[in-house]
Amino acid sequence: MTAPGEIVHTGAAEYPGLDRWRDLPLKQQPHWQDHPDFDSAYAKLSANPPLVFAGEVDKLKRRLAKVAQGEAFLLQGGDCAETFSDITADKISAKVKTLLQMAVVLTYGAALPVVKMGRMAGQYAKPRSSDSETRGEVTLPSFRGEIVNGFDFTAESRLPDPKRMVEAYHKAASTLNLIRAFTEGGFADLRAVQQWNKGFMENPAHAKYERIAGEIDRAVRFMSACGVEFEGLKRTEFYSAHEALLLDYERALTRIDSRTGKPYVTSGHFVWIGERTRDLDGAHVDYLSRVRNPIGVKLGPSTTPETVLALIEKLDPTREPGRLTFITRMGAANIRQKLPPLVEAVRDAQAKVVWVTDPMHGNTITAKNGYKTRRFDDVMDEVRGFFQVHQAAGTYPGGLHVEMTGDDVAECLGGSDVIDESAFNSRYESLVDPRLNHKQSLEMAFLVAEALTQVK
Ligand code: PEP
Ligand code: MN
């Protein structure tokens, strides 16, 4: 308990400036500080062990430095928003499996290491275009992700509940535990992953990828025939990432690293600032400027070169390799006009950032039957535009950021094994944005691998 007038909510980590964000414009948060359970939830989170460790976070930064230099490629993927009910062994393994499958194909295409990262174990908070939602006569607070409130359209469910942050922490811990077991315990063995990819190739719809699939298969068999048995084939590094939207959660899970004395967000290895909260003088940019993790910033079509340079100045003033990733989400129709000035400004300022394409968020449409969807062809067109822009500027297209799942859902239109709108009624599961399904995700990896072989 705190006495009146005492500073509360400071969390376990004390470090100069860490609470500056509380005095700055703060968007997209629930108003729950007066909730009777807020202080106890915050105190619990503050006392809990970190989910990730500073040493792992630093290692990821070194990996991302390689991406910035054009010596590795980054794959980020997962749900738009994880839901608590989908934290099951089957769903997590399907997602990790799909990301590993994609990574093998991309590794072959890029002939470079692929840094693998899930929008997982923390992707529970969502920015919304409106604070409230109206259905008929009823207006309720918008759904902000299960770390804040429930999706059901009732007053009780939509009421923000800080105890959900503690539940999210535990869900993230169990997700990470399974991911660590999978990726270090043999599940990630390259030869097994290649067998799964053969399953994908058995579908006649994917025959056009036969050449590249055959080449990967021969490469894997060649290594086996040579008796290559090194550990690198059996296990893989896999990092967690989410949007650092809910600053109460991020602040409570910030810890001071005992080796360096510096603050780290320990809710995930990599965190990013969303398109709606990247204001230069806002709370989110200030908070992430003070922690040592590698961080991302989403850049939409309204971004100017001045903003990009100011973001670099604020978030990466010492130009630390691997520190800053720009995730562009321009839309297929915009990318070829909007991205070049940004890429050129960063290049000319001699800043080294990682450039990643998110071909999902600029290509959302509403289907005739009312579902939020994306066309696979638009998504691929944005990816192609991203590669073209970087090729013309002489800069490196460093990675791919996708909303995907390992399951056979029907949320995005198209793909070779075509999904059309009629499938939405039975197989649309996302509560928020539409994801590529398992096959669409792998198909994208094959198409990007082809594009990468052309870049080389
Ligand atoms: C997201 O990644 O789910 C998201 C909301 O993206 P953006 O901030 O780019 O709109
Ligand atoms: Mn989304």
Alpha-carbon distance values, 21 to 66, 248, 286 (Å): 31, 11, 6
Q: Is residue 379 part of a domain?
A: yes
Nearest ligand 1 atom to the CA of 275 is 8
Q: Is residue 277 part of a domain?
A: yes
Ligand 1 site: residues with CB under 6 angstroms?
Answer: 80, 127, 243, 274-276, 298, 329, 361, 433
For residue 354, what pLDDT is reported?
98
- 213 Cα to the center of ligand 1, angstroms: 32
Cα distance between residue 258 and residue 263, in whole Å: 9
- Domain of residue 165 covers 7-188+235-455
Nearest ligand 1 atom to the CA of 119 is 2
- 327 Cα to the center of ligand 1, angstroms: 10
Q: Is residue 202 part of a domain?
A: no
- 106 Cα to the center of ligand 1, angstroms: 23
**Residue with CA nearest ligand 1 atom 1:** 80
**Residue with CA nearest ligand 1 atom 3:** 80
For residue 116, what pLDDT is reported?
98
Q: Is residue 434 part of a domain?
A: yes
Kindly report the CATH number assigned to the domain that includes residue 379: 3.20.20.70
For residue 253, what pLDDT is reported?
97
Cα distance between residue 7 and residue 452, in whole Å: 53
**Residue with CA nearest ligand 1 atom 10:** 275
Q: Is residue 366 part of a domain?
A: yes
Q: Is residue 406 part of a domain?
A: yes
Number of domains in the chain: 1
For residue 84, what pLDDT is reported?
98
Q: Is residue 175 part of a domain?
A: yes
pLDDT in tens for each of the 456 residues of the chain? Answer: 444 434 444 445 789 999 999 999 999 999 999 999 999 999 999 999 999 999 999 999 999 999 999 999 999 999 999 999 999 999 999 999 999 999 999 999 999 999 999 999 999 999 999 999 999 999 999 999 999 999 999 999 999 999 999 999 999 999 999 999 999 888 888 888 988 998 899 999 999 899 999 999 999 888 888 888 767 778 899 999 999 999 999 999 999 999 999 999 999 999 999 999 999 999 999 999 999 999 999 999 999 999 999 999 999 999 999 999 999 999 999 999 999 999 999 999 999 999 999 999 999 999 999 999 999 999 999 999 999 999 999 999 999 999 999 999 999 999 999 999 999 999 999 999 999 999 999 999 999 998 888 765
Specify the DSSP class assigned to residue 142: P
**Residue with CA nearest ligand 1 atom 4:** 274
For residue 456, what pLDDT is reported?
56
Ligand nearest to the CA of 326: 1
- 383 Cα to the center of ligand 1, angstroms: 17
Q: Is residue 197 part of a domain?
A: no
Ligand nearest to the CA of 284: 1
Cα distance between residue 171 and residue 165, in whole Å: 10
Q: How far is CA 380 from the centre of its chain?
A: 18
Q: Which residues contact 100 (CB under 8 A, 6 or more apart)?
A: 116, 183, 188, 193, 236
What phi and psi values does residue 141 have, to the nearest 5 degrees?
A: -60, 145
